[in-house]
Amino acid sequence: MPELPEVETTRRGIDAVMTGHRLSHLVIRHPHLRWPIPPELPALLADQTVLACERRGKYLLLRFAHGTQIVHLGMSGSLRRVPADEPPRLHDHVDWVFPHAIFRLHDPRRFGAVLWHDAKAGPIESHPLLARLGIEPFDPRFDAKWLHDQFKGRRVAIKQALLAGHAVVGVGNIYASESLFRARINPRTPAQKLSLARCQRLFEAIRSTLLDALASGGSTLRDYVGASGEPGAYFTIHAAVYERDGQPCRVCETPIKRIVQGQRATYYCPKCQRV
């Protein structure tokens, strides 16, 4: 699934081209994604100007004067710029057509979303999909104390606590494994057992992991591509534990171990990340 760095990389790519420009029209080929695409969207958005391209968690937010379009890339989706003469492929569901550019949503599994939040319904932050999201990892308020406070009384494993997105949003499966390795914290450790000092290590690891991923355009998630159509390269080269089960740890050479937590694969070093 595209995670925060992939979504932020996509946001930066579309922001540079969409923001401040008039959307000529929206093309909906297949409306049946995770939730049906509202059929009135093409009429609502024709000849409207994109005021901003923002992100909240893994949701892209395209702001217009009369509302906000909410876009989610699902499990394997991408939103990329395409040539005007490129014919749509199977699983190409939506086109944003500008006078100078076309962006196309490709989603093979159809777990993505293209929704609308009318300005009359209140701030976009109140939308049900966004209202319960945790703090952003680059928010100035996010720090070790924030994590420590969020983990109090939580018996769930720290990896699961990170994936839940209540303590901090956007640390998905790949980056949770990598962050916990950098912080030298075992993924099975109950969240409530993390001391303030260990939360400080985890806070620093989350920030550094996500910043490194952003610097390289996100991970190479099999078919993930950014807005320009180029794949990310970060984890192809730099992954410390993710999908490296059986391979030697880059620090101590102990074989990386794979376990399943909440139906998601977790990777860690049993020596560097002792309980």
Catalytic residues: 2-3, 58, 264
Amino acid at 127: H
Q: Determine whether 85 is exposed, middle or buried from the number of CB atoms within 10 Å of its CB (0-12, 13-18, 19+).
A: exposed
| C-alpha–C-alpha distance, residues 6 and 17, integer Å | 17
Residue 94 tokens, joined: 């939506």
Which residues partner with 63 through β-bridges?
52, 68
Beta bridge partners of 92: 106
d(CA 113, CA 116): 10
Q: What number of residues does the chain have?
A: 275
**What CA–CA distance (Å, rounded) separates 215 from 5?**
9
Helix H segments across 19-96?
41-45
Residues 206 and 166: beta-carbon distance below 8 Å: no
Q: What are the angstrom distances between the C-alpha of 202 and each of 157, 195, 274?
A: 14, 10, 15
Amino acid making up residue 105: L
| Residue bearing tokens 């939040």 | 117
d(CA 241, CA 249): 7
